[in-house]
C-alpha cells in the first residue's frame, strides 16, 4: 500500500483528532514555557495600570508601523522625482547610504543570533532575585562584546541599536529604544564570517558567560544561521537640540 493510499484509509476524524492533539501539546508546552520566574502576580490582580500599559504598548506598535510605512513612501516619492536627473540621482544615492548608516533600512547578511533567558534555578532566599534574571547590564555587555568582535549592526528583539539607543531596567522588564522587552532576549548581529569565533574567544565574553550563565544559570545559546535579518529603527531621528555645525556642508556638490 502506498503512503497516499494508507493515509486515505485513515478515517478523517482521526486525522482531525491527531492534528488537534498535536496543537494541544504544543500550546501546553508554550504555556508552561512562558510562565517563568517573572510571573509573581496572578491575572486576578491585574490592575488598571497593567491595562493602560498594555494599551500604550499597542499604540506604540501602531506608531512604529506608521513610521516605517511613511519612510518607505517618502523614499519612493523622492526617487520618483523626474527632471534634472544627475543631481536628484546623486542626492538619492547619498540619502540611501546615510539611511543605511543611520539604521533606517532593514538589512540581511551574515551574522549570529544569541539568545539569553532567565535562570530556572530556584531563588536562594538569602540571595538577590535579580541575579537570576536577565538585566539591562547583561544585554549591554553582550552588545558591547559583539561590537568589539566586529559586528556591524545589532538588534535586540527587533529593536535596532542606534546612536541614541539606551538599554535600561524598569523593574523586571527592559526598555530598549521606546519598547519594553521581555525574555527570551534575542540579540541579532550582522558581521564577518568569523564573528562567532571572535566573540567566543573574547576574554570579556568568557568572563560574562562564567559570571552569569555558569554562576547563576542564565540560559545562553548562539545560532549561526545562513543569513540574519536586521530590522530598521522605527523611532525618531528628528533631533531637537543638535544642529549641523556651520562649517559642515552636507549637500551634494553644486551642479
Residues of this chain, 160-189, that bind other proteins according to CB under 8 A: 161-168, 170-173, 175, 178, 180-183
**242 forms part of the interface with other proteins (CB under 8 A):** yes
Residues numbered 80-109 forming contacts with other proteins, rule: CB under 8 A = 80-84, 87-88, 91-92, 94-109
| Sheet of strand 179-181, all strands in order from the earlier edge strand to the far edge | 167-170, 173-176, 179-181
Residues numbered 32-61 forming contacts with other proteins, rule: CB under 8 A = 34-36, 38-41, 43, 45-47, 49-50, 52-54, 56-57, 59-60
Are 187 and 159 in contact by the 8 Å Cβ rule? The answer is no
Q: CA 43, 47, 52: angle at the middle one, nearest 5?
A: 115
**Residue 1 or 49 with smaller CB distance to other proteins:** 49
**67 forms part of the interface with other proteins (CB under 8 A):** yes
**Residue 33 or 215 with smaller CB distance to other proteins:** 33
C-alpha grid cell for residue 120?
530556572
**21 forms part of the interface with other proteins (CB under 8 A):** yes
Region of 1-9, 149-157, 205-213, 216-224 interacting with other proteins (CB under 8 A):
149-157
**6 forms part of the interface with other proteins (CB under 8 A):** no
**111 forms part of the interface with other proteins (CB under 8 A):** yes
Are 172 and 215 in contact by the 8 Å Cβ rule? The answer is no
- Residue 187 burial (C-beta neighbours within 10 Å; 0-12, 13-18, 19+): buried
C-alpha grid cell for residue 41?
502576580
Q: For residue 68, which phi and psi values (nearest 5 degrees)?
A: -65, -40
Amino acid at each position: 500500500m502506498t503512503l497516499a493510499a494508507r493515509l486515505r484509509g485513515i478515517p478523517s476524524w482521526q486525522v482531525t483528532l491527531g492534528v488537534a492533539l498535536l496543537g494541544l501539546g504544543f500550546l501546553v508546552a508554550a504555556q508552561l514555557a512562558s510562565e517563568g520566574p517573572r510571573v509573581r502576580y496572578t491575572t486576578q490582580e491585574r490592575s488598571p495600570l497593567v491595562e493602560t500599559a498594555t494599551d500604550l504598548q499597542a499604540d506604540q506598535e501602531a506608531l512604529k508601523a506608521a513610521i516605517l510605512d511613511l519612510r518607505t513612501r517618502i523614499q519612493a516619492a523622492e526617487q520618483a522625482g523626474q527632471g534634472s536627473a544627475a543631481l536628484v540621482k546623486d542626492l538619492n544615492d547619498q540619502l540611501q547610504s546615510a539611511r543605511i548608516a543611520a539604521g533606517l533600512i532593514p538589512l540581511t547578511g551574515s551574522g549570529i543570533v544569541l539568545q539569553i533567558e532567565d535562570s530556572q534555578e530556584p531563588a536562594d532566599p538569602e540571595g538577590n532575585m535579580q541575579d537570576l534574571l536577565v538585566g539591562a547590564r547583561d544585554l549591554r555587555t553582550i552588545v558591547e562584546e559583539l561590537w568589539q568582535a566586529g559586528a556591524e549592526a545589532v538588534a535586540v528583539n527587533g529593536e535596532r541599536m542606534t546612536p541614541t539607543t539606551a538599554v535600561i531596567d524598569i523593574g523586571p522588564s527592559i526598555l530598549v529604544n521606546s519598547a519594553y522587552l521581555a525574555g527570551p532576549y534575542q540579540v541579532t548581529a550582522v558581521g564577518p564570517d568569523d564573528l562567532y569565533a571572535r566573540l567566543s574567544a573574547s576574554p570579556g565574553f568568557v568572563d560574562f558567560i562564567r559570571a552569569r550563565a555558569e554562576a547563576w544559570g542564565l540560559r545562553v545559546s548562539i545560532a549561526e544561521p545562513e543569513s540574519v535579518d536586521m530590522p530598521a529603527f522605527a523611532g525618531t531621528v528628528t533631533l531637537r537640540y543638535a544642529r549641523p555645525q556651520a562649517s559642515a556642508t552636507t549637500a551634494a556638490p553644486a551642479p
